[in-house]
Amino acid sequence: MKFRGITLSPTASFFVFSPLLLLWLACAASLARIAQAQAPAPDSPAIEEQAHAMLAQLTLEQKIELLGGVDSMYTRPMPGIGLPRFKMSDASVGVRSWGPTTAYAGGVALAATWDPDFARGLGESLGRDARARNVNFLLGPGVNLARSPVAGRNFEYLSEDPFLNSALVVPFVQGVESQGVIATVKHYALNNQEFNRHNASADVDERTLRELYLPAFEAAITKGHADAVMNSYNLVNGVHSTQNEFLNVKVLKGEWGFQGILMSDWDATYDGVAAANNGLDLEMPSPKFMNAKNLLPAVQSGQVKESAIDDKILRLLRTELRYGFTTRPQFDPADSTYSVADRAVVLQGALESITLLKNEGNLLPLDPAKIKTIAIIGPDAWPAVPGGGGSSQATAFDPVSFVTGIANLLGSGVHVLYSRGLPQMNDVFRNTHWEGEVQVQTFPSVDFSGTPETGARLNVADWKPNQWEPADLTPRSVRYQATYTASNAGKYLLLAAAAGEDSFKILVDGKQVLDQVHAEGQVPKFASLDLAAGQTVNVQADYLPHAAGSRFGFGLAYEPDLVMAEAKQFAALADVAVVAAGFDPASEGEGHDRTFTLPWGQDSLIETIAAANPHTIVTLTGGGGMGTERWLAQVPVLLDDYYPGQEGGTALAEILFGKYDPEGKLPVSFDRNWEDNPSYPWYHGAPGADTVLHTTGENGRPLDYTIEHIKYGDKLMVGYRYWTTTGKHPLFPFGFGLSYTTFSFSHLQAPATAETGSTVPISFDVTNTGSTDGAEVAQLYISDPSAKVDRPERELKGFEKVRLAPGETKHVTLELDAHAFSYWDEAAHKWTIDPGKFVIRVGDSSENTPLDADLVLE
């Protein structure tokens, strides 16, 4: 695929050709020739013979040693058989484990491109970046379904639809592995919430599992030929993924014929014998459970067969031999650690993904000639936010923020005014004017019992980011009590935050308002209080620290005063105001779920800026839908930039000023509020959520932890499947995205009848009816009104991205195979087609399908 170029000024280089230089060049050329043998070789008798020969040299103890990683990010070496250690890297948006890197528009942004060609190019770029860092295993892509907008790692994954995910993951995997790097598809399976992820069981029926949550993994294996899979932390139907026979043995290695390496996520193994017997090949980052202490006696007693151990070692050896890891250097001198060329790939991903959701009065594109002053305001305006938090967070070499991207495009003739718009969180805590001092009681217990030490403070502002600190299990609980008097009538922000596994509760006049339970990670908690002028409230904060010292803060602020005065001033002065709102690595990331509402203060910020400037543009950063109802009617323009990678600022500027036509399409349904989402009644923490806590162990064994069973009662009704089946409507539908031009669909051609199991061609025309070059995603959905079982009203089964000049028409043909018409028959345990009437629907979103035709399968 040809990417947008980034033109650099040429420079001349001169060399003095000495014998030493010639020798160096010869060595470099030799290494380059070796490295060019990149794509993995197919399995062969020779590779199989060599793997078995290496296995035969190992003792049982040595075999078991190889089942665990070493030094956090490496496989274990075995010098006696010529096996070095092999290097890994996290990689959702960049090869991030070994220093600064190129940060791409990956995950949900990739899904918003709806572009398999771009997915292939992105995979190739990540593969090159890996080779430049001597990385053998790329720990990605993540392909879990976006079931709920609050799931903390949605931004790393793709979309709410299994067909779209499958169509993108196959070329992505092929791109990575074409560069001689193993792609690791994760997190297998059902990692659809981050809260309590080690102890949460996703309880789902087989039909829903097969139709929604497994297809992307299956496509990655059977079509993309991924050579590694990573198990998830969570349990599935009561059994941890790393020891789940159904997932690992029956489906992955049995039905799909997976011959590669199944590894655990880091510290996601819980029982060495159960994992060894149920498909896990490699425990990362170290063998805490699959070790000699646990497995040697198990093999000797017959509890674990040595042949099962041999199969794991053969998978490791066979895969590493196929990639040539033992015979060639992984470093490729043809690749750059900092690749200027790959900046074009980053920019293309951002341009293709940014989605225009509202453009009232055609405010966009902006005319640079008419802009003298522009205000860029918000927490995500600067610095750049290439991606979310956790193990995917990449440190980009040279990220372009929205402020710098817009300023670079406009040049010196336009005044650019920047303000964060909101104070830092600890400033809110420090600037809370309590009546008198905050009374502090520190108890020698975890339940606020015993005789406390007492003290007083002016405020409580000890919050620190979610960084790892050693646990302190000394019993301790801290109670803060304070009084606050409202200076004005109106809304007040109550804000509190801790870090890590700390927990707290905030009570106002004896009523609990905020609650952070003990969990792996967290984000700030906040609520809005309506207070009358002069009203006094009593605030109590009960804090349970999990580390030494304090990482806690809380405070109150009058919402109209929360927005910085300079932000209001800049917005009023500017011709246009851009508000960059949404999430960032601190508020959306691994180990915790996020809020559906925007982070604290941002609703007030947008309302305030919109009131000061009628030409207010809002761009949202985040891994899916988020709350907009407080202010959406007040702003003429809304964009979703997801996490756009290191060139996000450049891409946003080009789209705002018409240098590039917006072409992103929503990969998720965008809900009005969290309560509207079909997963809400079944999600952890939702009122009435159908969760069951118990301590019954797997196979009847006692547990030292509590399993939280999360029933997937929404079944097949995920995202647009729910909205189109019920006849209700989200705020913005799946597949939706505006353009600066217009398109029409016509001349749908579909056979009236076809034989069940045959390939069915569907064709139609797409025309650019506007005056601007642009791209449209033609989407094909199938309805099965005559099915013997309940099916969603429509399901995506085909799409194609087309680029058209004004007035240009393209004839599109999509082919539907048997699987496009199938559903999983739970009674027969197989894919089934019910002959009869099907409806073919074509359009530009799940809710706008102007073309339809009936098709009878006989």
pLDDT tens for each residue of 34-83: 344 488 999 999 999 999 999 999 999 999 999 999 999 999 999 999 99
Residue pLDDT, tens place only, 730-746: 999 999 999 999 999 99
Report the predicted TM-score, pTM, of the whole model to 2 decimal places.
0.93
Q: Across 195-254, where does the E strand assignment appear?
A: 200-203, 228-231, 235-236, 239-240
Mean pLDDT, rounded, for 391-413: 94
Q: What is the mean pLDDT of residues 423-438?
A: 95
Residue 327 has pLDDT above 50, yes or no: yes
pLDDT of 425 above 80: yes
| Token pair for 661 | 């036509």
pLDDT higher than 90, residue 348: yes
Say yes or no to pLDDT of 477 above 80.
yes
Alpha-carbon distance values, 765 to 762, 777, 802, 806, 845 (Å): 11, 12, 11, 14, 16
CB 803 within 8 A of CB 765: no
Average pLDDT over residues 180-185: 98
pLDDT at 390 over 60: yes
Taking residues 169-198, what's their average pLDDT? 96
CB atoms near residue 681 (< 10 Å): 15
428: amino acid identity, one letter: V
> Are 168 and 120 a contacting pair, CB within 8 Å?
no
User: Confidence class of residue 27 from pLDDT cuts 50, 70 and 90?
Assistant: very low
Q: Where are the alpha helices (DSSP H) in 223-366?
A: 245, 272-277, 292-301, 306-322, 340-353
pLDDT band at 703 (very low <50, low <70, confident <90, very high): low
User: What pLDDT sits at residue 238?
Assistant: 94
Rama region for 719: left / alpha / beta (φ>0; ψ in -120 to 50; rest): left
Can you give the pLDDT at residue 628?
A: 98
- Does the pLDDT of residue 9 top 50, yes or no? no
Q: What angle do CA 705, 708, 710 make, to 5 degrees?
A: 160
pLDDT of residue 186 exceeding 70, the answer is: yes
711, 713, 717, 723 alpha-carbon torsion, rounded to 10°: -120
Q: How far apart are CA 645 and CA 647, in angstroms?
A: 6
Average pLDDT score, the chain: 92
Give residue-wise pLDDT tens across range 774-812. 999 999 999 999 999 999 999 999 999 999 999 999 999
pLDDT tens digit sequence for 113-134:
999 999 999 999 999 999 999 9
According to DSSP, residue 249 is labeled I
In this prediction, residue 549 carries a pLDDT of 80
297 alpha-carbon distance from chain centroid: 41
Cβ atoms within 10 A of the Cβ of 552, count? 25
Residue pair 581/605 in contact (Cβ under 8 Å)? The answer is yes
Percent of the chain's residues with pLDDT above 70: 93
- The alpha-helical segments, DSSP class H, found in 95-138 are 108-113, 116-131
Average pLDDT on 344-363 reads 97
Kindly give the residue spans of alpha helices, DSSP state H, lying in 178-291: 206-208, 215-222, 245, 272-277
| CA 628 distance to own-chain centroid | 21
Q: Is 265 a catalytic residue?
A: yes
Tokens of 751: 């056979």
Lowest mean pLDDT segment, chosen from 126-130, 366-370, 690-694: 690-694
Beta bridge partners of 373: 415
Which residues are CB-neighbours of 434 under 8 A, at least 6 positions away? 458, 459, 482, 483, 484
For tokens 């790892």, name the residue: 468
| Per-residue model confidence (pLDDT) at position 466 | 63
Q: What mean pLDDT comes out for the span 160-171?
A: 98
> Which of 161, 265, 342, 462 is the catalytic position?
265
How much is the pLDDT for 707? 87
For residue 547, the model assigns a pLDDT of 83
DSSP designation for 70: B
Which pLDDT tens digit goes with each residue over 530-574? 999 999 999 999 999 988 888 999 999 999 999 999 999 999 999
Question: What's the angle, vertex CA 356, arms to CA 350 and CA 357, rounded to 5?
Answer: 140
Taking only the tens place, the pLDDT of each residue in 248-293 is 999 999 999 999 999 999 999 999 999 999 999 999 999 999 999 9
pLDDT of residue 766: 98
Q: Give tens-digit pLDDT for 81-95.
A: 999 999 999 988 899
C-alpha span between 276 and 123 (Å, rounded):
31
